[in-house]
Amino acid sequence: MDQQEPQFLELGQGPKRRRIAYRLEDSEGAGPAVMWLSGFLSDMVSTKVLALSDWARAQGHPMLRFDYSGHGVSEGDLLQASVGDWLEEAAAMLDLLGKRRVIVVGSSLGGWLALLLARALAKAGDARLAGLVLVAPAWDMTEKLMWDKMSAKTRAIVETEGVYYAPSNYDDPYPITKILIEEGRNHLLGDGGIVVGAPVRILQGLRDPDVPWRHALALVDLLASNDVELTLIKDGDHRLSGPEDLRRLERTVAALIETATRSAV
């Protein structure tokens, strides 16, 4: 159980004003920090993020995690939320770390947001990003993994009613809103040439029913970098939260931190 009380950061104006909950465990070390971006409908107390947080604490690495608006203990209406909102929140959270170099770890939707954040940093010439770790990255999720897979009947429900409640493999049916689909089209990466300016490590289960492994493989070709490694886990599901999966995630983050620390010397 996570005993650390969250702090809150206020963002947005008018109807978009919301308080975003976060937890920052700092360290006096000079190495890179770790920043976690959760999956859709997940939060900062999920199995993977708590395990990584415990590991970071034990290793003396600062770690920042937060809940998107409409998720966890953050404010916001999930039925009105969008990819653009969550990207804005991720950028604001990154700024809490100041000028420190950062390893961004994104799971599922968080993998897409991590790529969008990295692309924006690279375009701005901002060198804070020291590496990306993407776990079952659901890039272009709203279009390729939601809209493109919907039947004509389901699309009509989204268009006319504004929301469709999709069956879930893990919990109650979840909302796919017209806002989410339409606003998500402003952030698609499918044209390729994605410049991230940092090493990328992708962890992907071959038995993932939500993000097919070929979706991760296609991402490798879209990245405008040669420093990209894709690890396929034969028995891996979408969550990749078993003991060996967690140790693999820790090793992957540790290797990027070591590389970034050496390059800074």
**Cα 139 to Cα 86: distance, rounded to the nearest angstrom:** 14
Residue 12, classified by CB atoms within 10 Å of its CB into exposed (0-12), middle (13-18) or buried (19+), is middle
Cβ atoms of 115 and 196 within 8 Å: the answer is yes
Cβ atoms of 247 and 54 within 8 Å: the answer is no
Asked about 238 being catalytic, the answer comes back as yes
Query: Which residue of the set 85, 208, 210, 245 is catalytic?
Result: 208
Which phi and psi angles does 165 have, rounded to 5°?
-95, 110
Query: Which residue of the set 38, 46, 108, 241 is catalytic?
Result: 108
Asked about 235 being catalytic, the answer comes back as no
**Cα 85 to Cα 205: distance, rounded to the nearest angstrom:** 28
Identify which of 146, 154, 46 has the alpha carbon closest to the alpha carbon of residue 105: 46
**Cα 245 to Cα 93: distance, rounded to the nearest angstrom:** 26
Asked about 95 being catalytic, the answer comes back as no
Query: Which residue of the set 69, 71, 238, 245 is catalytic?
Result: 238
**Cα 37 to Cα 156: distance, rounded to the nearest angstrom:** 31
The position carrying tokens 């600062």 is 62
Element at 200 (helix H, strand E): strand 200-205
Residues identified as active-site: 108, 208, 238
